[in-house]
Amino acid sequence: MRQEQVMEAYDYCRRVTQQASKTFYWGSVFLPHPKRRAIWAVYALCRVVDDIVDEAIDAPRVGHLLGSASPRSALDSWRQSLKHIYEHGGDNKGFIQLAWSDMLETYSVPLEPALELIDGVEMDLTTNRYQTFDDLYLYCYRVAGTVGLLTAPIFGYQDPAALDRAVELGVALQLTNILRDVGEDARKNRVYIPQEEMQRFGYTEEELMRGVINPAFCELIRFQMARAEEYYQHAQSGIAMLDADCRLAVTLSSTLYRHILDRIRLNNYNVFTKRASVPLKTKLAAASQYWFQQQLAMRAKSTV
């Protein structure tokens, strides 16, 4: 019976991942089955705690979906639930908890980054502007860099430097999210682009709220994109540090997310009314390309 419950829990995490991030899910299917399930469990936690805050912020528009619980108490409940799992073993109070309990029997996923992740999403309850990039970096590290630290033990690595690269990849992904969602976030009165940099490029918040796309805005977005590209570039070397059976999946997820930046360019930097998304044909082409490259590399290695 327990095994059936565990399978149901992982399937729930799979559905959450598939519905919330098609790009991330697309990469995950190239992982070995046990690692794939564990990655879904990690992503499902990320999604559910983020939804707690998003629902609280959207409550004036869509109605409060948390019942009588405040968002902070709901987040704290997740903190306590995770601590219980790590300190006392299994927890079957929910699908995600059960999946995590099972996952931890195989993979040494650390607790601290999961708690920092919750701290990060909680920042959205009190902070909707960031003065400098250093301020924004803390947010990006907590909500996305920590995901690299959570997933690295699942992917497998030998060199501790892989953890630094994993954090950099997480930050790159979050910076990409921020650029893709500028318009959506503005409608929620959230501005993640650092205020200092908006001022430097001569673009005002009033213009951002009106969705103005002018030369100053395009230069500002190009600057933000260059920073994200730099984080992707730094993170690249970390993929080779992972276990061989995970490199294709991580390469594919990273590449497809990086393609979102290309779509922003193709949309002429319109991140207000056009959502940058990666077409299926691009995903298929990337999957074929990297799979073929991996096969060639493995064949070359076997002949040495």
pTM: 0.89
pLDDT exceeds 50 at position 65: no
Is pLDDT of 28 > 70?
A: yes
Under the banding of pLDDT at 50, 70 and 90, the label for residue 20 is confident
The mean pLDDT value of the chain amounts to 89
CA–CA distances in Å: residue 173 to residues 30, 61, 206, 245:
19, 28, 27, 22
Q: How far is CA 66 from CA 9, 175, 185, 200, 257, in A?
A: 21, 28, 21, 40, 31
Range(s) of the chain covered by CATH 1.10.600.10: 1-118, 127-304
Of 34-38, 151-155, 279-283, the poorest mean pLDDT is in 279-283
Choose which CATH entry (3.30.565.10, 1.10.260.40, 2.40.37.10, 1.10.600.10) describes domain 127-304: 1.10.600.10
Tens digit of pLDDT for each residue in 69-107? 799 999 999 999 999 999 987 666 799 999 999 999 999
pLDDT tens digits along 163-213: 999 999 999 999 999 999 999 999 999 999 999 999 999 999 999 999 999
**Phi-psi category of 107—alpha, beta or left, where left has phi over 0 and alpha has psi -120 to 50?**
beta
Give, in order, the Cα–Cα distances in Å from 208 to each of 66, 146, 168, 183, 218: 31, 29, 28, 8, 12
Burial bucket for residue 41 (CB in 10 Å: 0-12, 13-18, 19+): buried
Beta-carbon neighbour count of residue 181 at 10 Å? Answer: 17
pLDDT, tens digit, 9 for 90 and up, residues 200-240? 999 999 999 999 999 999 999 999 999 999 999 999 999 99
The topology under which CATH files domain 1-118 is Farnesyl Diphosphate Synthase (1.10.600)
